[in-house]
Structure 1
Amino acid sequence: MKIVIIGGHGTIGKTVVSHLKKDNEIVIASRSNADVTVDIANSKSIKSMFDKIGKLDAIICIAGEAKWDDFNNLTEEDYYIGLKSKLMGQVNLVRIGKDYLNQNGSITLSTGILADDPVVQTTSAAMVNGAIHSFVKAVALEIENGIRVNVVSSGMVEDAYEKYKDAFPGHNPIPMNKVINGYVRSVKGKGNGEIIRIYD
């Protein structure tokens, strides 16, 4: 399979790339130092990326930003960071990317546990994650050509535990092999419109 992984250099992305490249053709996309550059907050950049890559069997996005801060500090502009990047960035990957997928291709988006179990300072991030979950369930009812759309929603992964453990008190770090399997299930399985939760 020919698969583009947006965010393939990140904590989760590089692990997913390492696993999938064993028996697939992987194209890594990110804002810099990648096979192809893309800014998912910009729909023109997304279209340009797909034009350069050509036809694909699967799209995986493990990218997107959202502002973390106390609710009382968040401005309207702060919310737009998550809305433009993590939410509309992934919506546009589906909206534009479907035309570059081969029949029966798949699109896998990424969110996280904040959609269901938010912690402090995550009002914006939790809102965006929840919106993506609703989008995936709805778009799966209408997308054509046998294309499947799912989302992997993981808890705090073990490779990021030391950096984020204070923000997630009492949360169990998720083993990376479990996270990888979430993406494998979405790409290789037959599920459509699924929220693949990997929380504990």
Structure 2
Amino acid sequence: MKIVVVGATGTIGKAIVTKLEQEHTVITASRKGADVAVDMTSIASIQGMYEQVGKIDALVVAAGAAYFGPLTTMTPEDNEQSIEGKLKGQMNLVLLGLEHLNDGGSFTLVTGIMMDDPIKQGASAAMVNGGIRAFVKSAAIEMPRAIRINSVSPNVLQESWDKYADFFVGFNPVPVERVAQAFVKSVLGGQTGQNYEVY
């Protein structure tokens, strides 16, 4: 299979690439340091990425910036960062990618535990995570040509625990390998409309 991984230079993205590249052709995509440059907030950049890679069998997203901060000081502009970076960015990758996916191909997007298990300062991120989950569930019943769509919802990672422990008090972090395996399940399995929770 020919698979594009957006966000391939991040912790989760690298783990996904390591698993998939053993038996498949993987094209890495990110803002920098990857095979293909892509800015998820730019329609033109997304279109350019698809034109560069040609027809593919799967698109995996392990990226999407979201705003973190207290609700009482959050501005509409702050919240827009999450909408543009994670919600609209991923939806546009699907909308613009349909014609580039081969029959029976798949999209795998990324959500996150905060939509189910809230943390302080995480309202904006939780909102877009829930939006992506709803989009995936609904879009699955309209996908043409046997194309599938799923999402993966990671917990905070063990590999990032030192950085985020103060935000995720009482959480049990998970290894990135478990998260990457859920992406593999989505790409190589047969299910659609699912949100794979790695909690």
Matches within 5 A, 1:166-177: 166-177=166-177
| Paired position in structure 1 for 2:25 | 25
Q: TM-score, normalised by structure 1?
A: 0.98
How far did residue 178 of structure 1 move?
1.4
Q: Output the CA distance in 2 between the equivalents of 1:76 and 1:154.
A: 26
Matches within 5 A, 1:70-109: 70-109=70-109
Q: Output the CA distance in 2 between the equivalents of 1:124 and 1:180.
A: 24
Q: Output the CA distance in 1 between the equivalents of 2:18 and 2:181.
A: 13
How far did residue 176 of structure 1 move?
2.2
For residue 12 of structure 2, what is the amino acid of its counterpart? I
Overall identity of the aligned pairs, in %: 44
1:67 counterpart SS class: coil
1:141 counterpart SS class: helix
2:196 counterpart SS class: strand
How well do the aligned residues superpose, as a CA RMSD in angstroms?
0.7
How far did residue 18 of structure 1 move?
1.1
Q: TM-score, normalised by structure 2?
A: 0.98
Q: Output the CA distance in 1 between the equivalents of 2:192 and 2:160.
A: 29
How far did residue 177 of structure 1 move?
2.3
How many equivalent pairs are there? 199
Residue 19 of structure 2 contacts residue 184 of structure 2 at CA under 8 Å; is this kept in 1?
no
**Uncovered stretches (5+) of structure 2, i.e. residues with no partner:** none
Q: Output the CA distance in 2 between the equivalents of 1:195 and 1:12.
A: 16
Matched, 1:146 2:128: no
Higher mean displacement: 80-89 or 170-179: 170-179
For residue 19 of structure 2, what is the amino acid of its counterpart? H
How far did residue 34 of structure 1 move?
1.1
- Which 4+ stretches in 1 moved above 3 angstroms? none
Q: Output the CA distance in 2 between the equivalents of 1:136 and 1:42.
A: 21
CA offset digits 1:151-191 (Å, max 9, x no partner): 00010111111111111011111122211210011000011
Residue 5 of structure 2 contacts residue 26 of structure 2 at CA under 8 Å; is this kept in 1?
yes
Residue 57 of structure 2 contacts residue 106 of structure 2 at CA under 8 Å; is this kept in 1?
yes
